[in-house]
Amino acid sequence: MELNRRQILKYAGLGLALPAASPLLSACSNDKSAGSGDGSVKFEGWDYEAALVQQNLDNFTKTSTIKVNYTPITSAQYVQKVVAEFTGGGGPDALYVYDDSLAGWVEGDYLQPLDGMAGVDEVYAAIYPGNASAMTYQGKRYGLPYYTDSNCLTYNADILAKAGITKPPASLEELEAQAVKIKNAGLLKYPIGVPAQLSDTWWSWVWALVFGSGGNMFDDQQAPIMNTTDTVVKDVFAWLQQAANKSKVIDPACLQLLPVPIDNAMKANRYAYTIGARYASRDYNDATKSKAAGKIRMALIPSLDGQVHGTVSNTRLYALAKDTEVKDNAFKLLTYLGGLDANKQPYTAKFWFLQRGLGFAYRSMATDPEITASLKKFADPAIYAHLGEIAKPRNVLGMPWYTEFETEMHKVVQGVLSNQTQPSAAVASLAQSAATLKKKYS
Amino acid sequence: MAVQAERRPLGDSAKAWALNAPAMIVIALLVAYPIAYSFWVSLQRDNLKRPRAKQFIGFDNYQALLSDQAFLSALKVSALFVLVVLGLTVVLALILALVLNERFRGRGLLLSLALLPWAMPGVVNGLMWRTIFDAKTGALNGLLTQLGLIAEYQAWLTSGTGAFLFTALAQVWNTLPFSVIILLAGLSTIPSELYDAATVDRAGAVQRFVQVTLPWLLHPLLIVLILETMNAFRAFDTIYVLTGGGPGDATTTIALLDVQTVLTFTDVGLGSAYAWVITAITLLISVGYIGLLYRKGNFEV
């Protein structure tokens, strides 16, 4: 065959274009087994400590010979990206799931239940009921625990001591009185800080205050009760309004503060109290990161009467994709990450606690000497364990309208904090929003 | 040679189609198809959390907007936001363009500096202004305190009015340079003889501006109005970073509500309807601008 200049250019162009086009075409493909076929597991999670995750996965591959293709996804876009992948038909085999995404992802046919699989019953018997409940949807179990946490009152013992306060508050009234004392002593203008800028994440501190006083926003049938049978929400809102606008102990700048600036303020001794996740205390008490190291303590959430105590928990779980083609291997990975090992020990849960202080769902870990020794560096193990016992998840997580309700609640609470909305109007508005959303999704 | 002689040359029209075909295919795939598909989605009840409930509902999503309080509130906020941002942008851009149109030492440097905000992505712009407006460590608080204008640091973004105005200001800062460039280009085309003639006729500075400059700037102003209205109506990133739409609904614009509806609530059906309403509104406003201003400009720019 005789080649002329045009043909040479054509073939050269094709030769250059093919390598460039191949990855593009491959990326467009939804075939999850493409390029592997060796039983490897496609695993995705948000990008928290991706290097440590990889280290742990390498250990799994070494012991099981199952290859894992791990992709960390930026946490800010995790939900959207996973939804897009599953919608496009190319999701992972195993993945992290937020408890508040679980119901939607089950309804979306992304996940499969784990009931009947080896060791699942054992895991659910070994974890706190709140975590088991958060991983169960419509009576089926969909996950093994990654980590969990519950909210607590975090306080700076040094600032309290300077104001002559010897113990943390048990009631909201006491909390306000102590904060006023700190304020009057000239130690801090605004002793209490909570993150109250609108964002996509849940406001755990609001739920913690409500649960802390034994209240709830919804009954067991997910009907709103904050405006009818349950007066706790209204009373908590009334306290918030008073503390923000009358005694002025809650920082008005909170409305423009996200969680990280609140953490930074705690670490800089600029707030005496905040309400947030237990694991934050580890960071607050880390001398390399915090000026408040060694001074931060945790306590139960103060309640309206000072007698009842409760709190809210969240659960992050490992789940199995519904259409995975490597179910056995993916489940082995899930068991390694969230289950019990051959010695009936939660290997990875312990790994995460010791490495980064992530909360654990396994009851037995609360009495593990290695865990308690590590815990003592930043918290009182007894209070830590007690919070885990009394914590419960939000009972509306299974509702498809939950995210919209949570977003609406943020706006209402902002109105309460800025004195724009009265507590009675706030609960009425929340009840109305819940009713409208239920109707919309019915 | 014999083979080549038998080939019939393509006509101009066929050549034009052939040459434009690749670009048209790409545009059809990457632009036209997604736009048409989003309209199709807007006619569905389609929440990704409930794929089994997906169904064609015609214009129900659009009809529902009439009683959707969140939408109506966001529309009101957006309209006000467009008015404030557009007003500030046009006035400031005109002043800056007139200044930069003069010849003076350091003009090049000033021009480069004035263009800098335009190069900044919206998210970075939002982060920068968040740092400036910070209630605890913000530069604005530091400056005003040092000047003795405020006694103590303020939380600027915690009141509805404050958050709205400061967010609008941050948006103006980001988009102003583009308007300056357009107006500057318009100013550079005005023949200097017209100013000379006006000066001979004893026209003052204001008269020269009203009688000479403004008529010549009508078309560039039209472009600024159309593009800045679209920008302000679609403003999302700066607002999202600065206030997240709060406090309450004070800065929840329709674009913010749209992103939230699609990405946070995964309601792609309703979110697509929002997007089409934004498109329709900006289109109507643009047509209105053209109707009002286009025929009044006498000169090509």
Picking from A83, A252, A270, the nearest residue to B155 by CB comes out as A252
- H/E stretch holding A18: helix A5-28
Which of B174, B161, B169, B166 minimizes the C-alpha distance to B133?
Answer: B166
Size of interface A-B (CB pairs under 8 A): 82
Which of A190, A151, A380, A384 minimizes the C-alpha distance to A273?
Answer: A190
User: Residue A287: its pLDDT value, please?
Assistant: 95
Say how far apart CA A436 and CA B192 lie, in whole Å.
64
Q: How far is A369 from chain B (nearest CA, A)?
A: 42
- Residue B190 identity: I
Say how far apart CA A400 and CA B193 lie, in whole Å.
69
If you measure CA to CA, which chain B residue comes closest to A84? B48
Q: Residues in chain B whose beta carbon is closer than 8 A to a beta carbon of chain A?
A: 47-52, 133-136, 155-160, 163, 243-249, 260, 263-266
List of chain A residues whose C-beta atoms are within 8 Å of the C-beta of residue B243: 197-198, 256
SS3 A366: helix
Q: How far is B49 from chain A (nearest CA, A)?
A: 4
Q: Look at B157 and A410 and tell me if their CB atoms are within 8 Å.
A: no
Tell me chain A's radius of gyration from C-alpha atoms.
25
List of chain A residues whose C-beta atoms are within 8 Å of the C-beta of residue B265: 403-404, 407
User: Residue B61: its pLDDT value, please?
Assistant: 95
Span A233-243, pLDDT tens digits: 999 999 999 99
User: Residue B253: its pLDDT value, please?
Assistant: 95
pLDDT (mean) for A223-231 = 93
pLDDT greater than 80 at residue A113: yes
Mutation to test the A interface, candidates B29, B152, B266, B270, most A Cβ within 10 Å: B266
User: Residue A4: its pLDDT value, please?
Assistant: 54
Instruction: Give the CA-trace dihedral at A188, A194, A198, A203, to 10 degrees.
Output: 180
User: Residue B4: its pLDDT value, please?
Assistant: 52
E strand spans, A144-184:
144-156
If you measure CA to CA, which chain B residue comes closest to A409? B248
pLDDT-wise least confident of A286-290, A432-436, B120-124: B120-124
Handedness of CA A126, A128, A131, A133 (dihedral sign): positive
Select the more confidently predicted residue: A32 or B211. Answer: B211
Say how far apart CA A433 and CA B68 lie, in whole Å.
12
Say how far apart CA A350 and CA A365 lie, in whole Å.
8
In this structure, chain A runs to a length of 442
Which of A341, A190, A342, A329 minimizes the C-alpha distance to A266?
Answer: A190
Span B17-60, pLDDT tens digits: 999 999 999 999 999 999 999 999 999 999 887 878 889 999 99
pLDDT (mean) for A291-301 = 96
User: Residue A22: its pLDDT value, please?
Assistant: 40
Say how far apart CA A174 and CA A15 lie, in whole Å.
76
pLDDT (mean) for B63-90 = 94
pLDDT greater than 50 at residue B154: yes
Contact assessment for residue A234 and residue A424, using Cβ atoms and an 8 Å cutoff: yes
Q: How far is A196 from chain B (nearest CA, A)?
A: 9
Burial B30-62 (b: 16+ CB within 10 A, else e): eeeeeeeebeebbbbebbbbbeeeeeebeebbb
List of chain A residues whose C-beta atoms are within 8 Å of the C-beta of residue B158: 252-253, 255-256, 418
In whole numbers, what is the pLDDT of chain A averaged over residues? 90
pLDDT greater than 80 at residue A18: no
pLDDT greater than 50 at residue A185: yes
Q: Look at B243 and A197 and tell me if their CB atoms are within 8 Å.
A: yes
User: Residue B10: its pLDDT value, please?
Assistant: 76
- Residue A259 identity: P
Q: Look at A407 and B263 and tell me if their CB atoms are within 8 Å.
A: no
Which of A277, A335, A280, A417 minimizes the C-alpha distance to A66?
Answer: A335
Span B80-89, pLDDT tens digits: 999 999 999 9
Burial A170-198 (b: 16+ CB within 10 A, else e): bbbbbbbebbbbbbeeebbebbbbbbbbb
Q: Which residues contact A111 (CB under 8 A, 6 or more apart)?
A: A97, A102, A105, A142, A319, A320, A321, A322
Q: How far is A68 from chain B (nearest CA, A)?
A: 28
For the range A59-67, what are the long-range contacts, defined as Cβ-Cβ under 8 Å and sequence gap of 24 or more?
A60/A333, A60/A336, A60/A337, A64/A332, A64/A336, A66/A39, A66/A40, A66/A41, A66/A329, A66/A332, A66/A333, A67/A36, A67/A38, A67/A39, A67/A40, A67/A41
List of chain A residues whose C-beta atoms are within 8 Å of the C-beta of residue B248: 411, 414-415, 418, 420
Q: Look at A407 and B244 and tell me if their CB atoms are within 8 Å.
A: no
Picking from B50, B136, B246, the nearest residue to A400 by CB comes out as B50
Q: Look at B247 and A414 and tell me if their CB atoms are within 8 Å.
A: yes
Q: Look at A400 and B133 and tell me if their CB atoms are within 8 Å.
A: no
Q: Residues in chain A whose beta carbon is closer than 8 A to a beta carbon of chain B?
A: 80, 83, 87, 103-105, 107-109, 197-200, 251-253, 255-257, 261, 265, 270, 400, 403-404, 407, 410-411, 414-415, 418, 420, 441
If you measure CA to CA, which chain B residue comes closest to A88? B48
What is the DSSP pairing of strand A391-392 with strand A311-320? parallel
Q: Look at A104 and B52 and tell me if their CB atoms are within 8 Å.
A: no
Q: How far is A163 from chain B (nearest CA, A)?
A: 23
- Residue B278 identity: I
pLDDT greater than 90 at residue A37: no
What is the DSSP pairing of strand A41-46 with strand A68-73? parallel
Picking from A80, A109, A418, the nearest residue to B247 by CB comes out as A418
DSSP 8-state secondary structure symbol assigned to residue A290: -
Question: Judging by beta carbons within 10 Å of its beta carbon (0-12, 13-18, 19+), is residue A100 exposed, middle or buried?
Answer: buried
- Residue A155 identity: Y
